[in-house]
A and B are shown apart, each in its own frame.
Chain A
């Protein structure tokens, strides 16, 4: 029997708010343990939560971008369980009434578009971190992260391969970044993904027993873990076994999934409405306001770049993978309308420098105006394309204006006819044999003359102009 995987995804996206979900503590990453805390996020007796409206706004923003219905009356629930990094003994979350529901996201897999349904997205607070130390029996708890706002985005079980999962995750990450909702950093844990996966015989419409996967913190691990799990479950079923409903951890070191807890150890979270919070009303006006500030999303922008600028699909998809990159491209094209040339420089020179220096497109020292200026120097013949390429790293390193650098280094091409003519005449005079060959019809010596003129000019002569003038002068000599 052949099996097909059925995969659903839970993604936790850390929202980019300045402060935590229910208190005024900062959300800054990587500070000294327990320094970003207050009575509320420490769970001190008597402290009470107050909702951060910005987090609600970011949830609405995401929901609208994912074509979700936005709930008007939002209640929060308590999810009760004991863990040292959960200071109140419960997590404030949304349970039966998520803020976003019934959305979808289209992803492109091997050239075909697939619609993945979004079941729900809800707001909740993050827990702290428990740090287990080697050779020590006790553990340490850091509550800096406790109370950081998360949006949990849950799909329907619409995915069928690790490729589809990765494509969905990347598309989702691009959107979250475009929206300025989440920085999408999987390694730092600001985007976390928990797939649940089951197999069923090809053609069957019934779902098999599902396994939840945890501890996946890169796109590579997503793919590896899912591929491993599909293979493992297939093997179990083929050997006549049954799949246990359980939660498994991805052990990237050993390249396999291991059991974390079985069904019988599953928690009863005893959800109930949090009596410390009043429902958050999301008005029609609020939704309209948020909608008005939505940026053009990656897929729509990709399509527009193709039609508006005639870019190939590959270029358009690279340029729209990051909002800042597409912004850069369009800002530059506005000043220098040769889109193809701009696209080549952005994808080639700019991305290379950004990657090598570990910088960001937004902070590029070569601004879109600089790049346009550089390309204009090429277009007007002041410098050659080759010089422009060679100059880029220096421009990136110094942030100086291209015209200024060309000027300082004397890189301008010489196109002055009088200058060029004097060099040409000098070259022809000193090489009478070659001139004679040319006059006899051997046109290939023209290249030799160009080379000599370039040499005489110290490489600054405009080669096109030299070519043009050489033919004129030689024709005149031939006649004489």
Chain B
């Protein structure tokens, strides 16, 4: 079996046993990228091959003398291009930052480098992580490896597609309203959004600060836990990172069932708008979970219907402020066409931002404006509290929740590009967990007749990632969805 088909855990075992060298690993991945990347377009930047090869050879040489490996050593990991990498451009999928090279590493990137992990490239995304299809990238869309005519989801579409197409062993994404889980579902891979505060945001280019979380996109649930072990923890540079003990998440897999666990099925997530194939796949998954010892229970999250409105007020309000720094003064694009300061600001932002980013900046600016603040921003904050309370109530009677990830499988490129509202509804099942700050994981649970993956979402109590990891792993091992590979042909 080709090296690139292995999971991170499998590859790591081979590497640790000395069966494969770091150089062989990176060579295999660069070969794979050269064969499929032109079709998938998962990357904005592929790291310089010669540099990576040299580093891998150096690592192999060191290891001859000192045979101790680390969990991510030599593992080729891709990073979403809104996470800062020192010396490697970080574009956020925007013209605004096309040539921007950060002088510092994000805390999560530091953690990866400390593992001697190989940062193989920076993945494509909707501009500033605003979108659900990766079509809003200034550098062109990424394709779904299962069907190149379809979107990979978004905004972490590049990361999800890269993992699905074996262009990296695992990837980092960021999730603000579903941007890890929704593309993972579209591409048939695993995507985990940790509890808000579990992973440091330092170095993640902010979209909506109170919602943004970095998390792993991987080939299976085991790999997600291995990565989360490295990413999680309090960071003194991020005031919102939580001072909560970090367990070894892989220990959650000691139990290979869901015995004695109560599984909540929120009625609001199975109503109108849910595609029949998705509904069937999720319902079948619920039966599997029942067979694994779980006890199903219907629950209600009554404020689900206002989550989209709440999210789009809060996220855009924060974004309008977070994106104010792109003014052409300090870094990034500065328009050449200006006579004075005001014109420099206007032209720079006009030329630098794409239509979706502009739309959200305007929405958010409006929501915060004098005379509208109370009716929009303040009201949305109050509703956010109600949504959080819905979950608190549900978690008093159940241990985790099961829902679809997305109302439909991945859609065609261009299908929703001209209809922002339809696009926003692609995140309808993922927004609430972001608003409530709770952990959620998306894993494959079937395929549509068209051959597109379908995902299922597990949502848990804050800082109880172990519960959803255990349940998701138990389900993953009981089913065979992981075995199916995208039909993409190497060329």
Contacts and interface: CB of A to CB of B under 8 A. Distances in A.
Nearest to B84: A46
A309 interface: no
A48 B239 contact: yes
B206 A46 contact: yes
Nearest to A268: B370
B368 A46 contact: no
A46 B365 contact: no
Interface residues of B, number: 43
Given A46-B203, A270-B369, A278 B324 contact: no
Contacts of A48: 201-202, 237-240
Interface in A34-66: 39, 42-51
A90 B321 contact: yes
A75 interface: no
B interface: dominant SS: loop
Given A268-B369, A270-B321, A45 B330 contact: no
A46 B238 CA distance: 10
A49 B239 contact: yes
A275 B206 CA distance: 11
B237 A45 contact: no
A48 to B, nearest CB: 5
B321 A46 contact: no
A93 B165 CA distance: 47
A277 interface: yes
A80 B100 contact: no
Contacts of B201: 46, 48
Which residue, B100, B318, B321, B373, has most C-beta atoms of chain A within 10 A? B321
Interface stretch (A81-89, A204-212, A297-305): A81-89
A252 interface: no
Nearest to B345: A82
B90 interface: yes
B204 interface: yes
A141 B329 contact: yes
Contacts of B92: 45
B324 A46 contact: no
B210 A275 contact: yes
Interface string B302-343: 000000000000000110110111010111000000000100
B273 interface: no
A47 B171 CA distance: 22
A78 interface: yes
A271 B377 CA distance: 11
A276 interface: yes
Interface stretch (B14-22, B102-110, B132-140, B274-282): B102-110
Interface centre among B209, B236, B325, B373 (most CB of A within 10 A): B325
Contacts of A286: none
A80 B330 CA distance: 17
B205 interface: yes
A39 B103 contact: yes
Nearest to B341: A84
B239 A45 contact: no
B324 A276 contact: no
A45 B370 contact: no
A477 interface: no
Contact of B330 (A43, A51, A268): A43
A89 B104 contact: no
Contact of B377 (A39, A42, A44, A272): A272
B365 A270 contact: yes
Given A45-B84, A45-B102, A270-B368, A87 B238 contact: no
Given A46-B102, A46-B206, A49-B239, 4 more contacts: A90-B321, A272-B318, A272-B373, A278-B240
12 contacts: A43-B330, A46-B102, A46-B203, A46-B205, A48-B240, A84-B341, A87-B329, A89-B321, A89-B323, A141-B329, A268-B369, A272-B321
